[in-house]
Amino acid sequence: MSDHRLLGIWVRRFLLEHVVAERNLSRNTQRSYRDTFALLLPFISTRKRKPIDRLCVADFSSDTLKHFLDHLERERKCSIRSRNQRLAAIHALAHFVAEHSPEDVAWCASIRAVPFKRFHRNELTYLEKPEMDALLAAPDCRTALGRRDHALLQFLYNSGARASEAASLQIEKLHMRPNTMSDVEICGKGRKTRRCPLWPATGAELLELARNRSPDAPVFLNHRGQAITRHGIHRLVRKYVSKATAACPSLAHKRISPHIIRHTTATHLLRAGVDINTIRAWLGHVSIDTTNIYAEVDLERKAQMLTHTNALSTPAAPKRSWKANPSLMAFLRSI
């Protein structure tokens, strides 16, 4: 068997040539693709009773793919969202193979014909303004650690940054201007950069954190003086949610993470009258469809509020006896 028929050769080429070299996808996306094939290849090997390094393209059929997806859901207890994410990586591999091997176009079509599974999208969670205020008030700003934590929470709320984006933020990406709006340059998914304006209060806190430090140093440090990790940011948010719950009990009924603060930023911007395209650029969304989720949620909220008020209801017309309306009776007799 020639090497180009081996499935492992195509997986290697796909990850190195396409994912890294051509697409330059983020490290997290690279790991996600890698993990998909780390699960898939042993599964095919077991079913075909062949060593992984000897598996060929023909060993991986659409039926095998369907069994693999069932395995993810039933045995590994993966969510439908995770199942679809794994399938997207496999679809991308099949497309790559077909582009470089015309004889495998039919195989690619059969793999890509396996559909994604529909699922009910969970209701979008975000914080109301009093809840966000309670979270921001939780750190003790009398201490250096508390000031760092408040600056981090304030930055997440101001920018709508992901935890990974905040963790990797460097001081040189802060553009502070004394007499005009300051901004920050954020490196997001796919290494795409965006500029986000900073409120004066946020800028002042970040400037204090960055004082007398190297421009290439991380803005947010952990207790060991190293760059805080995204996992550290998740722990920090959980810590202050627990503390803020005493002052704002409604927080206890929500699962809050840095990404929920991102949802909160988008929702509050929308309610403040910021247009949807500006919010898309603010958050770094590639597609406007992603940002439109927040508009749909806000419309649902407005509809719910409308049902509890009569402010826009039309006054009822005075009742009239239908029998006293001869034109109506003439109309009925004409039918």
Answer yes or no: 230 catalytic: no
| Res 327: pLDDT | 62
Within 8 A by CB and 6+ apart from 141, the residues are 147, 150
Among 189, 234, 243, 254, the active-site one is: 189
The whole-angstrom distance between residue 220's C-alpha and the CA centroid of its chain comes to 22
**Nearest to 18, CA basis, from 82, 83, 76, 99:** 99
Among 18, 83, 262, 263, the active-site one is: 262
| Res 24: pLDDT | 81
Q: What are the b/e assignments for 86-97, b being 16+ CB within 10 Å?
A: bbebbbbbbebb
Within 8 A by CB and 6+ apart from 43, the residues are 64, 67, 68, 71
Among 150, 194, 268, 285, the active-site one is: 285
| Res 259: pLDDT | 94
Answer yes or no: 285 catalytic: yes
| Res 314: pLDDT | 44
Answer yes or no: 86 catalytic: no
Low-confidence ranges of the chain (pLDDT < 50): 1, 302, 305-306, 308-315, 322
| Res 233: pLDDT | 97
Question: Domains (ranges, CATH) in the chain?
Answer: 3-112 (1.10.150), 129-306 (1.10.443.10)
| Res 251: pLDDT | 96
| Res 284: pLDDT | 86
H helices present in 137-257, as ranges: 144-159, 163-167, 200-210, 230-244
Beta strand 174-175 with 193-198 is unpaired
Answer yes or no: 302 catalytic: no
Contact between 16 and 33 under an 8 Å Cβ cutoff? The reply is no
Q: Give the global pTM.
A: 0.67
Answer yes or no: 100 catalytic: no
* Two structure tokens written together for 330: 């003439």
Among 162, 194, 263, 268, the active-site one is: 162
Among 33, 126, 240, 294, the active-site one is: 294
| Res 313: pLDDT | 43
Answer yes or no: 157 catalytic: no
| Max Cα-Cα span within the chain | 94
